A and B are shown apart, each in its own frame.
Chain A
Amino acid sequence: MKAVETMDRGDALLNIFIGMFVMFMFLPLILMMLAAFNSASPPSVTSWEELTLAWFPRLLAEDRLIGCLQNSFRIAVFVVPASVLLGLSAAILLTRLEGQATNLLYACLISPMLTPGIVLGIATIVFWRHFGVGADLYTTIMAQTTFIASFPMLIIMARLQRQDRAQEEAALDLGASPFFLFRRVTFPFLLPAILTSAALAFLLSFENYNTTVFSIGGSCTLTTEIAAQARRAHTPVINALGVIFVTVTVIFSLVYTLRKQWEK
């Protein structure tokens, strides 16, 4: 009886702790979002002036911000297919190869995930300077692909490991060409993993800051521009952008969770 009581007390403590933890995670975000609806500038929640939506249309007038946003998309357009292709190739090789060399290859290919982003950015601009290419969107595409490709690799590998190899052998026995086999059996099987990793690659590219800021030189992406503005001045326009970011994230998270629940 006593043991049960202490367990309940432990659970109560745990509940209080996790409640505080979640509050800690949400409080700054909520404050930031509230300040976006206050007419006071610099943004504040404590000196409330007037409820307003005026900061949202102001976003459209920020020409530089919009130019940088376009750069973010330009980069992602190249990074996403490149990362998925590299990740897919590596996943296929790693699943089918055996021996010590494979472990080394594996270690090399996940090493960019464990490398500080700024080091990847620096190595990229140093490398391309040798060929006379200055730091710009192009170097950022290279630097981002270096580590983003590791994520599709892991996702696709996980799915490949669940593949029933008898299927492939059967197809080959029945006279299918290897290319036909890949197009009609392996690729469709991998498609969900490929789509998931493309979505993830887009998010990683779009949201990346530390690698990007070291490899982009004088150009900008949405994230480098947010950081530059956040350091220079504290304006409610960025808070309005924050509201959009958080809202989109919440919607996607809920859709993702609900879909996962529904699939069960």
Chain B
Amino acid sequence: MKQLFEIYGWPLTTFFSACVALWLTILIVTPQFFMIELSLRFEDRGDRLTKIVNDLDVLYRDKGTKEYDLVNGPACNTTGMVNPMMTGDSSCAQFGEEDKLRLEQQVRELEDRIQSLLVEEQNLKEIKAQQFPYSVRNYTAMTGLHAWTLTKTVAFALIVTLIALAACYPVAYAVALRSGPVKTVILFTALFVPYAVNELMRIYAWLTVFDLHGLLNTLLVIAGFASFASDEVIIWYRFPGTVLVVLVYTYILFMVFPIYNTMATLDPNQVEAARDLGAKTWRIHWRVIIPHTKPGIAVGCIMTFMLAAGSFSVPYIITRGLQPKWFTQLIYDKFYESSNWNLGSAYSFTLLLICILFIFGVMAIFGVKLRQLAR
């Protein structure tokens, strides 16, 4: 701290500290805390209090209508014109003293019911306020179907990570250690272009392959296994495999670049020395290259898993509603369709917990520290 003050002076130091404090509190920590807090409040949609609140809404509306009728007459407005919304000829002329008394009576009855419900609501609210508001019911209430969806999503993310690792290690090795300078530049650019193309465009591109009249079905027709004329074609979007392929395609390059970046810092002489000393190829990888590349492999695995498990775009575009929803889609519905934010927050935090566990697992397996990760 002293060093900071000496070099940047107190106005700048205070300014920088304030910026970081804002970032930490308003953007990172407090929102997560609020989300967790919300997820621990269980909202019972079927309890008495919810019913009272709904009933009260209906009663207030009824009372409002009747009071309006009392003042203006059932089918008239103040100018004496017939309200076009009302049917029938019950015009102002027919609205006598009797009707008025009847309406007043009804309004009084409604008022009584509202009063009694308000008292009950107040009591229930007081009881609820005294109760401990937190429970883990949002977490334990996950239905079997949703739990299965979560398992499937995590399993797919793990498979994607493993496929990406198996495919990207040789690729990174080829670019970093087995190519001359020109070839490295060409290959690097060839990998960088699809990496930099917008994620959605890369996903969208697969529709050309999987469509009813897409590449795959056309190849099948040419090979004689299918026919467009008699509609004997495969609806590829129905198979979860399509999501897997596109997940691999979309996030695989997040594995290549971290591995490549660490591998490129390895002195090729070390590999030469190992070879001169008689080490076989697999042994060079196991004892020289992989130990050096570990931080890159760890970062690649973490990024790929996190992106695949948390991907909303791939299942959203690829399944086209023809497959059961993915876990991220379930979360989206909790916020934007059935609007149960408490449950949605619980699902979202579950996803985050799984990613955190995965990060710690990977760091333990590869023996790397957090500080080594982000380079």
Contact with B along A144-156 (1 / 0, CB 8 A): 0110010000100
Name the distance in Å between A21's Cβ and chain B's nearest Cβ. 5
Contact of A114 with B16 in the complex, beta carbons under 8 Å: no
From B61-69, B78-86, B105-113, B168-176, the one touching the partner chain is B168-176
From B20-28, B51-59, B142-150, the one touching the partner chain is B20-28
Given A14-B170, A93-B16, A182-B12, A146 contacting B27 (CB threshold 8 A): yes
Q: Chain A contacts of B32 at CB under 8 A? A: 123
- Is B131's CB within 8 Å of the partner chain A? no
Contact of A124 with B310 in the complex, beta carbons under 8 Å: no
Contact of B194 with A29 in the complex, beta carbons under 8 Å: yes
- Is B139's CB within 8 Å of the partner chain A? no
Contact of B31 with A32 in the complex, beta carbons under 8 Å: no
Name the distance in Å between A121's Cβ and chain B's nearest Cβ. 9
Name the distance in Å between A41's Cβ and chain B's nearest Cβ. 11
Q: Chain B contacts of A114 at CB under 8 A? A: 302-303, 306, 355, 359
Q: Chain B contacts of A97 at CB under 8 A? A: 1, 4
Name the distance in Å between A228's Cβ and chain B's nearest Cβ. 9
Measured in the bound complex, the distance between the Cα atoms of B213 and A42 in whole Å is: 9
Measured in the bound complex, the distance between the Cα atoms of B18 and A86 in whole Å is: 10
- Is A197's CB within 8 Å of the partner chain B? no
Contact of A227 with B200 in the complex, beta carbons under 8 Å: yes
Contact of A127 with B31 in the complex, beta carbons under 8 Å: yes
- Is B366's CB within 8 Å of the partner chain A? no
- Is A103's CB within 8 Å of the partner chain B? yes
Q: Chain A contacts of B341 at CB under 8 A? A: 126, 129
Q: Number of A-B pairs whose CB atoms are under 8 Å?
A: 272
Contact of A28 with B316 in the complex, beta carbons under 8 Å: no
- Is A190's CB within 8 Å of the partner chain B? no
Interface size on A, residues (CB 8 A): 96
Contact of A249 with B3 in the complex, beta carbons under 8 Å: no
Q: Chain A contacts of B16 at CB under 8 A? A: 88-89, 92-93
Contact of B34 with A117 in the complex, beta carbons under 8 Å: no
Least CB separation from B194: chain A residue? A25
Interface size on B, residues (CB 8 A): 97
- Is B46's CB within 8 Å of the partner chain A? no
Q: Chain A contacts of B27 at CB under 8 A? A: 112, 124, 142, 145-146, 149
Contact with A along B137-175 (1 / 0, CB 8 A): 000000000000000000000000000000100110111
Q: Chain B contacts of A179 at CB under 8 A? A: 9, 11-12
Q: Chain B contacts of A118 at CB under 8 A? A: 310, 312, 328, 331-332, 348, 351
- Is B207's CB within 8 Å of the partner chain A? yes
Contact of A115 with B355 in the complex, beta carbons under 8 Å: yes
- Is B43's CB within 8 Å of the partner chain A? no
- Is B93's CB within 8 Å of the partner chain A? no
Name the distance in Å between B334's Cβ and chain A's nearest Cβ. 9
Interface hits, B197-222 → A, CB 8 Å: 197-209, 211, 213-215, 218
- Is B8's CB within 8 Å of the partner chain A? yes
Contact with B along A96-119 (1 / 0, CB 8 A): 110000010111111111111111
Q: Chain A contacts of B211 at CB under 8 A? A: 42, 44, 234
Q: Chain A contacts of B132 at CB under 8 A? A: none
